[in-house]
Amino acid sequence: MSAGSPGPAAGAAAGAGPAPRRAYVTDCEGPLTKNDNAQEIAAHFIPGGAELFARLSRYDDFLADVLRRPGYNAGDTLRLLPPFLKAFEVTDEGVEAFSAEGVLMVPGALEALHGIAALLPAFIISTSYTPYLKALCRLSGFPPANVRCTEMSLDAWAMPEEEKAWLRDEAARVLERGLIEIPEGARAPGDLAPADAVTVARLDDLFWTQMTGRVSGALVAAVRPVGGGMKLAALLEIVAAQGVAGAGVMYVGDSITDAPPLAAVKAWGGVSLSFNGNGYALEAAEFAAASPDAAVAAELAQAFAGGGRDRVEAAVRAWPKTRTGEKPTGRARARVGLVAEERAALAEASAAMRRSVRGERAARLG
C-alpha cells in the first residue's frame, strides 16, 4: 500500500459504532529515551566505536536518502555494525547487560507512556536492537508484545579468527577516513566532495564486495533493522491487526527512520508528530513539538483519543507561546505548531531541543 492511500481499514471510519478506533504508535529513541543504544554499544565495545558508528551512520544516510539503494532502508546502520561487534568478541549477554544498565528516559516519558496506554492501544516501533527494548519494557512495564524492533543474535554466528582480525583492521581503516558530508540536493556520489566520494567507494567495496562469501556478509544480510520502509511495514501490520482506520493513527517520531510512517499517517489524515525531530522528521510530519519532556506527547495523545486529528490541531493552535525576550515557563516550555505554517521556527526549536535533551553526538545522527 502506498503512503498516499487512505490507510488500512479506511472504509471502517464510516461504519457503525459509538466511536472510531484509534491507536498510538511511537518511536523509542528520541520520543521516549535519550539513548542512541547502537552507538553506545559501539562506543563501549569497540576502540573508537563512537566515531566508527558515526561514519557508518552517515554512509547509511547516503545509501538510503541520496542513492536510494534498492532494498536498503534508513536505519540499516544496524546491519553494518554487527560484523564489527563480532570481530571484537562482543556477545549477546554483554549487549543485554550493557543495554539494561543504560536506559535513559526522556523526562516524563514513563508517566506519559502509562497515561497514553490507559487511553489508547499503544505500540512502540524501534530500530533499536531487541536487548535494549527488553530493558525498556522491564523498566516501564510496557508489554513486549506491543513492540516491534530489530532482532540480532551475535552468538548464533561462528566467525573465523582470520576474519575477525581482518575486520578489526578494516575498522581502523574506516576511522582513518573523514565523516561524509552530504550537500543539500545530492543525488549521486559525484555530488560529494572528492574525498567523501572515495570514502563511499571504499565502504561500498567493503560491505558489498569484500564481505560477500564471508560470515560478515551473511551477518549483514541476516540482520533486518526495523527502520524506514520496515517501520512503515510494521505500522501497517499493527493498524491492520487493530482494525484501525488510517485517520485513527497517531505516530510520533524524530528521525530519518520515522519519515515513511510519518508521511503515511499524514496522508491518511491521522496525526503525524515530529518530537524534537531532525529535518527528515519535520519534512514528513504535519505537527511538530520541541519539548524538554514528554508531557506534550501525552497531552496531544489525550486530545487525539477524545476527538482525533481535528482535536489535536485545535490543541496545537491553542498551545501557549512565549513572546520574544520572555523566559518560557509551564506548558510554553514546549514549542508546538503546524510544520506548514512555522517550519523555520519549529526546525530551529527542534534542533536546539534535540541537542539539549539527547546530547550533541546523538543529535547529529540521522
What CATH number is attached to the domain comprising 196? 1.10.3870.10
Other beta carbons within 10 Å of 288: 28
Whether residue 24 is contained in a domain is answered as yes
Whether residue 231 is contained in a domain is answered as yes
Residues 67 and 204 in one domain: yes
* Residue 151 cell numbers, joined: 532482532
* Residue 66 cell numbers, joined: 541520496
What pLDDT shows up at residue 19?
Answer: 62
Task: Please determine, for residue 16, whether its predicted confidence score (pLDDT) is greater than 80.
Answer: no
Element (H, E) at 26: strand 23-26
Residues 169 and 59 in one domain: yes
Residues 288 and 325 in one domain: yes
Confirm if 158 and 151 have CB atoms less than 8 A apart: no
Residues 15 and 141 in one domain: yes
Residue 323 CB-density burial (10 A; 0-12 exposed, 13-18 middle, 19+ buried): exposed
Nearest C-alpha neighbor of 129 from the set 238, 259, 35: 35
In the chain, what percentage of residues exceed pLDDT 70? 92
Residues 341 and 288 in one domain: yes
Query: Given 192, 222, 252, which residue is the final one in a domain?
Result: 222
**How many whole angstroms separate alpha carbon 154 and alpha carbon 208?**
20
* Residue 362 cell numbers, joined: 546523538
Q: How far apart are the first and last CA of the chain?
A: 25
Query: Which of 218-227, 280-289, 316-325 has the weakest average pLDDT?
Result: 316-325
For residue 261, the enclosing domain spans 10-34+105-151+227-364
* Residue 41 cell numbers, joined: 554499544
| CA distance readout (Å), 28 to 75, 129, 147, 289, 316 | 13, 11, 10, 16, 23
Residue/partner pairs of 188-197 with CB below 8 Å, 24 or more apart = 188/66, 188/67, 189/67, 191/66, 192/62
Whether residue 5 is contained in a domain is answered as no
Whether residue 113 is contained in a domain is answered as yes
Residues 240 and 319 in one domain: yes
| CA distance readout (Å), 305 to 21, 139, 309, 322 | 9, 25, 9, 27
Q: How many domains does the chain have?
A: 2
**How many whole angstroms separate alpha carbon 136 and alpha carbon 142?**
8
**How many whole angstroms separate alpha carbon 2 and alpha carbon 255?**
20
What pLDDT shows up at residue 3?
Answer: 38
User: Each residue of 227-264: pLDDT tens digit?
Assistant: 878 999 999 999 999 999 999 999 999 998 999 999 99
Element (H, E) at 97: helix 92-101
**Average of per-residue pLDDT across 145-152:** 96
Task: Please determine, for residue 4, whether its predicted confidence score (pLDDT) is greater than 50.
Answer: no
What pLDDT shows up at residue 322?
Answer: 79
Task: Please determine, for residue 172, whether its predicted confidence score (pLDDT) is greater than 50.
Answer: yes
Whether residue 353 is contained in a domain is answered as yes
What pLDDT shows up at residue 228?
Answer: 79
Residues 212 and 301 in one domain: no
Query: Given 175, 191, 222, which residue is the final one in a domain?
Result: 222
Residue 351 CB-density burial (10 A; 0-12 exposed, 13-18 middle, 19+ buried): middle
Whether residue 51 is contained in a domain is answered as yes
Query: Given 206, 222, 238, which residue is the final one in a domain?
Result: 222
* Residue 344 cell numbers, joined: 523555520
* Residue 244 cell numbers, joined: 484501525
User: Each residue of 27-65: pLDDT tens digit?
Assistant: 999 999 999 999 999 999 999 999 999 999 999 989 988
Task: Please determine, for residue 75, whether its predicted confidence score (pLDDT) is greater than 90.
Answer: no
Confirm if 234 and 344 have CB atoms less than 8 A apart: no
Confirm if 256 and 232 have CB atoms less than 8 A apart: no
What pLDDT shows up at residue 360?
Answer: 47
| pLDDT-derived band at 74, boundaries 50, 70, 90 | confident
31 phi, psi to nearest 5 deg: -70, -35
Residues 6+ apart with CB under 8 A from 356: 292
Residues 52 and 113 in one domain: no
Residues 233 and 308 in one domain: yes
Other beta carbons within 10 Å of 11: 9
Instruction: Kindly report the length of the chain.
Output: 366
Whether residue 288 is contained in a domain is answered as yes
117 phi, psi to nearest 5 deg: -65, -25
Query: Looking at residue 337, which CATH number applies to its domain?
Result: 3.40.50.1000
Whether residue 254 is contained in a domain is answered as yes
